[in-house]
Structure 1
Amino acid sequence: MKWLRKKKNNQQTVLSLEQQRSEKLAQMGAHLWALRQEQGLSLDEVAILTKISRRLLQAIEEGNLNDLPEPIYIQGFIRQFADALGLNGAEFARTFPISSQPVNSQAIGKVSPLGQLRPIHLYFLYIFLILCTVNGLSQLLNHAALQANNSQSEPDLKKQYVVKPEPIQPKQSVEAQPVSDTLSSIQEAQPVQIGVTLKASSWIRVVADGKTEFEGTLPEGTYRIWKAREQLTVKTDNAGGVLMSVNQQKAKEMGELGKVEEIKIAAKSRF
């Protein structure tokens, strides 16, 4: 029974740590997004400054843990992101939880130096294994490419001297198809996405493709994202207190402070 209780407590601790990471990442991502918007920088520009891919930077801003690697790497990405925006990256990223073990304040003085160094050793070992794996795969791919080039460079003597005449096929009439029919067959609808940041507490209703996704009052500092395949409708009772960006563009106020405003954004077609 004691073993079962201990296992259950460990599972609850892990779940609680995952929730802490998710909530903290959402707060930090919203702060970085708002600061980037104030400086007028795009994700592509930040990606050039930090040498981090645009996909990972977007996942940090959206608080999406599923698209990010291990917590230790997430903390490093947050530090580089914050440094690029003029913050103290090390201090800002330190608040993101990466430890997988609960901290017992009463036992801190009893922890030996070797016990404190073990997680660092594991991270170095993990990085070393990754580098060895990448190096091995690179050598394997290079060897396979070299064999393929050698096999293609060998001449086929039979094909050099044997030429088969191609049979003459009668010309067939080709029916011309209207250009509009061809274009309509490959035309797709590009999904639309909005990001909303609350400068002041405001009531908001969001309708995506005819379905109400959210309706209620959001507090100041909240950052939310909604997507739709065809159309998004956003309505608020305090247009000046709501910053809205469309498809990762620069955020703008929906209108004047204290006034009701409703905006409809339709998805654009693409080829």
Structure 2
Amino acid sequence: MSERQNKEIGKRLQAARMDQGLSIDYIQEKTKIQKRYLMAIEAGQMNDLPGDYYVQSFVSQYANVVGLDSHKLLAGELQETNDNGKQSAPVATGPLPSRTTQHKQVVKESEFSRRFGKYAAYLPTIVVVVIVVVVLGTIWGMSHSGNSAQPHLTSSKVSVTDDASSSKKKQSASSKSSSSSSKEKSQKITQVGSSTTEYDLKDGPSDGSSLNIKAGTSNAWVSVSSDGTQSWMGTLQTGAAHTVKVAKGVSKVSISLGNAPQTTITVNGKKFNFNPQNDTTQTKTITLNIKD
């Protein structure tokens, strides 16, 4: 699409949102699309989105929330010229509001949006900083955990007794205990009630779980958050995979998928069937509750 077309689509979506007094945060909550992508769409900066597929997908979801016909909007704006090279008239989606009307609508924006909207440009930097802090914290925690466990292992080796018979009995008991504790329970992932997007993970590894996310025959956009903090986000190329380590102590993991039918997830080496109904919904957010 041309820059003019991108800006026209963005203006129409923004005007529809303002007409209804909706904030950009509300659109984000309803579509699960990141706020910075929604702002890029309204500004007509479609190149900031992961790819052409996501342009149409995100615009369609946005249009549906604000009550516009996404098919007419995209069909009208995407057909720029006809066979004779002349520009085709786009499908009308209603006149844009005047500058005075837009000003009145902006006043209706929520107090939160008016106060913090100016910081939106810093959001990518903040996300990167948070990810770095989480990674460093995880590394430090694993290192500290390993060091604190060492004295315990050493002390268990220096336990001796003068009675040879008693020593043999203790060694036998210790061996049985070690053998029993080494048997890990098999993890279980169960659906929460009738929900198709929320699941419970039980009897997972005690030192944290591992998620392996893989794209199928087309690219897949993925975002992973642990207890509300984003752990990883990116676009997987066709056939590519990425592993996300979930730290010990995390109770809830959210996995947002931009191309769900073409994405597979493996949890701790076992395939996770997050779409038992085999529906074709493109955008989906899966919640995984980690139970002890």
TM above 0.5, one fold? no
When normalised by structure 1's length, the TM-score is: 0.33
More helix by share: 1
Computing the radius of gyration from Cα coordinates, the structure with the larger value is: 1
When normalised by structure 2's length, the TM-score is: 0.30
